Amino acid sequence: MADGATDPRTIYLKDYTPFPWVIDGVDLTFALAPRGTRVTSRIRFRPDPDAPPGPFFLHGEDLRLIEARIDGQPVTPTVTPEGLTCDVPTGPFTWEAVVENDPELNTRLEGLYLSKGMYCTQCEAEGFRRITYYPDRPDVMAVFTVRIESDLPVLLSNGNPEESGPGFATWHDPWPKPAYLFALVAGDLVALHDSFTTRSGRHVDLGLWVRPGDEGKCAWGMESLKASMRWDEEAYGREYDLDVFNIVAVDDFNMGAMENKGLNIFNSSAILASPDTATDADYERVERIVAHEYFHNWTGNRITCRDWFQLSLKEGLTVFRDQQFTGDMRGHGVKRIGDAVLLRGRQFREDNGPLAHPVRPESFVEINNFYTVTIYEKGAEVIGMLKRLVGDDGYRRALDLYFDRHDGQAATVEDWLKVFEDATGRDLAQFKLWYSQAGTPRVKVEESWEDGRYRLDMTQTIPPTPGQPDKQPMVIPVALGLLNPNGDEVLPTTVLELTGGQQSFTFDNLSARPVPSILRGFSAPVILERDAPEGEAAFLLAHDTDQFNRWEAAQTLARRAIRARLDGQAIDASWVPSLAAALRDDALAPADRAALLGLPSEEETAQALWDDKRIPDPTAIHHAHEAVRDHLAQGLRDLLPQLHDGGRMPGPYSPDAKSVGRRSLGNAALRLLSRTDDGVRAAAQFAEAADMTQSVAALGALLAVGRGEEQLRAFHDRWAQDRLVLDKWFSLQVGLARPEAAVALAQRLTQHPDFDWKNPNRFRAVLGALASNPAGFHDASGAGYRLLADWLIRLDGANPLSAARMSTAFDSWRRLDVDRQALIQSELGRIQAAPGLSRDLSEMVGRMIG
Residue 529, beta-bridge partner list: 444
Other Cβ atoms within 10 Å of 162 Cβ, number: 12
Amino acid at 488: D
Q: What is d(CA 126, CA 723) in angstroms, rounded to the nearest whole number?
A: 29
Other Cβ atoms within 10 Å of 429 Cβ, number: 9
Distant-in-sequence, close-in-space partners of 845: CB < 8 Å, separation ≥ 6: 1, 807, 828, 831, 832, 837
Q: What is d(CA 260, CA 487) in angstroms, rounded to the nearest whole number?
A: 51
User: How many Å separate Cα 694 from the centre of its chain?
Assistant: 26
SS (H, E, C) 403-447: HHHHCCCEECHHHHHHHHHHHHCCCCCCCCHHHHCCCCCEEEEEE
Can you tell me whether residue 279 is helix, strand or coil?
coil
Residue 441 contacts residue 459 (beta carbons within 8 Å) = no
Residue 233, beta-bridge partner list: none
The dihedral over CA atoms of 233, 239, 243, 248, expressed in degrees to the nearest 10, equals: -60
Q: What is d(CA 832, CA 846) in angstroms, rounded to the nearest whole number?
A: 8
Amino acid at 398: A
Residue 514 contacts residue 454 (beta carbons within 8 Å) = yes
Strand 111-115: give its sheet, edge to edge: 111-115, 118-122, 184-187, 154-157
H or E segment at 822? helix 818-832
Which is the catalytic residue, given 293, 315, 350, 366?
293
Other Cβ atoms within 10 Å of 122 Cβ, number: 26
Residue 61 contacts residue 125 (beta carbons within 8 Å) = no
Q: Where are the beta strands (DSSP E) in 572-650?
A: none
Q: What is d(CA 44, CA 22) in angstroms, rounded to the nearest whole number?
A: 8
Distant-in-sequence, close-in-space partners of 395: CB < 8 Å, separation ≥ 6: 386, 387
Residue 410 contacts residue 178 (beta carbons within 8 Å) = yes
Can you tell me whether residue 711 is helix, strand or coil?
helix
Say how many CA atoms lie within 13 Å of 711 toward its Cβ. 26
Give CA separation, 636 vs 362, 429, 579, in Å. 51, 51, 9
Q: What is d(CA 358, CA 8) in angstroms, rounded to the nearest whole number?
A: 22
Can you tell me whether residue 14 is helix, strand or coil?
helix
Quick check: is 293 catalytic?
A: yes
Say how many CA atoms lie within 13 Å of 45 toward its Cβ. 23
Amino acid at 730: F
Q: What is d(CA 423, CA 392) in angstroms, rounded to the nearest whole number?
A: 12
Residue 70, beta-bridge partner list: 73, 95
Amino acid at 81: P
Residue 377 contacts residue 347 (beta carbons within 8 Å) = yes
- Helices (H) and strands (E) in the chain — how many of each? 29, 31
Considering only CA atoms, which of 125, 128, 103, 102 is closest in space to residue 116? 103
Q: What angle do CA 300, 306, 308 make, to 5 degrees?
A: 80
Q: 560 exposed, middle or buried (CB, 10 Å; 0-12, 13-18, 19+)?
A: middle
Residue 146, beta-bridge partner list: 28, 171
Q: List the catalytic residues.
A: 293
